[in-house]
Amino acid sequence: MRESVKIIPLAGIDLAGLEHLLAIKGVDSRYARRILYWIFRRGIRSFTEINDIPKNVLSVLPESFATGLSSPVSSAVSADGSVKYLFRTSEGLLHETVYLPEGNRKTVCVSVQSGCRMGCRFCATGLSGWRGNLRAGEIVNQVVSLPHDVSHVVMMGMGEPGDNIEEVIKAYNIITAEWGLAIGRNRVTVSTVGVTPAVKRLLEETECNLTLSLYSPFSEERREVMPAESAWPYKETLSLMKAFKADRNRRLTVAYVMIRGKNDTERHLEELNRLLTGTRLRVNLLPYHQVENDSDCSSDAETMMRFKHLLVTSGVGASVRKSRGGDIAAACGMLAAGGR
């Protein structure tokens, strides 16, 4: 009885890896770059779509390889023009992706896990539970398989990048490589609750922009809402970000979700100022989006603008992020992919 051959999805393989795999199969490794071009730039589903590689070479590829790309299973369009897509992996893991067009900037917000095990109380993804990690190819697929041009990628969808760091870094390398998607290194942003070992790797091994999700500058308050604070105190990540000598084009940012009466008081503002004045770290102030069975609500626009104004006048770069996709549950903290 013939043993079944394991089919390798190529969307998560780098150039050197594919050259090696082709050599093992007796295929000239010089074809690796063209194969990856067709996968990452042309989004092919079948090797038969390739027209510049000899047919005798193409004929042997399906015996061992698949492109690793798949189309979304559904989509929803917001009144503001953003689009939410639902993907399903070959193992059945559901995950959501959001496309955010704004002028010449075409951003895609990708997921790195199906669900999340960080358990942040202000995030629907964290409350939905964890179902599994996405592989690098499944992360990249969320960029390649959209029917849109993409200029920026943010890993701010479902899941914690620091909890899947190997695959996140592999995906980042594919997204930015000239043989991959060739998206600028400073056009990729990774958001984290502050998994300290992963933050060190992201700072040292990549050139991505990095965002720390803070919630509160007071550790005891943060721990109540973001359980990861117990394992990885946010001040460790903040210290790494402050000390890191980043290129001027590389943004290191603090994301601050504002909840009325919880973390938008004068006391919180003063502590944010104390922590960030004199650093190059910026602050993104985000409106809060309610999750199920939740009595909390977002700080009002006046309070958010006041926070921004006082931070800026203290020398801290700050901005208020506009909410997008709330009507289709695609805004920050709302992705759950049916997990609730």
Catalytic site residue 236? no
Query: What is the distance between the alpha carbons of residues 328 and 312, in angstroms, rounded to a whole number?
Result: 33
Whether 253 and 246 have beta carbons less than 8 Å apart is answered as no
What's the token pair of residue 191? Answer: 């958001």
Query: What is the distance between the alpha carbons of residues 156 and 153, in angstroms, rounded to a whole number?
Result: 9
Catalytic residue, from 96, 138, 167, 229: name it.
96
DSSP one-letter code for 6: P
Query: What is the distance between the alpha carbons of residues 237 and 10, in angstroms, rounded to a whole number?
Result: 34
Rounded to whole angstroms, what are the CA distances from 132 to 25, 26, 111, 164, 231?
Answer: 31, 35, 11, 10, 20
Q: What are phi and psi of 108, to 5 degrees?
A: -120, 130
β strands within the chain, DSSP E: 8-9, 65-66, 74-77, 83-88, 94-102, 105-109, 113-115, 130-133, 152-155, 188-192, 209-213, 252-258, 282-287, 318-320
In the chain, what is the greatest distance between 2 CA atoms, to the nearest angstrom?
Answer: 74
Q: Vertex 79, ends 78 and 81: CA angle to 5°?
A: 65
H-helix or E-strand containing 16? helix 15-24
Q: What are phi and psi of 68, to 5 degrees?
A: 85, 5
Instruction: Compute how many other C-beta atoms are within 10 angstroms of the C-beta atom of residue 52.
Output: 8
Catalytic residue, from 109, 116, 208, 332: name it.
332
Query: What is the distance between the alpha carbons of residues 336 and 328, in angstroms, rounded to a whole number?
Result: 12
DSSP one-letter code for 298: B
Catalytic site residue 96? yes
H-helix or E-strand containing 173? helix 165-176
| Residue numbers annotated as active site | 96, 332
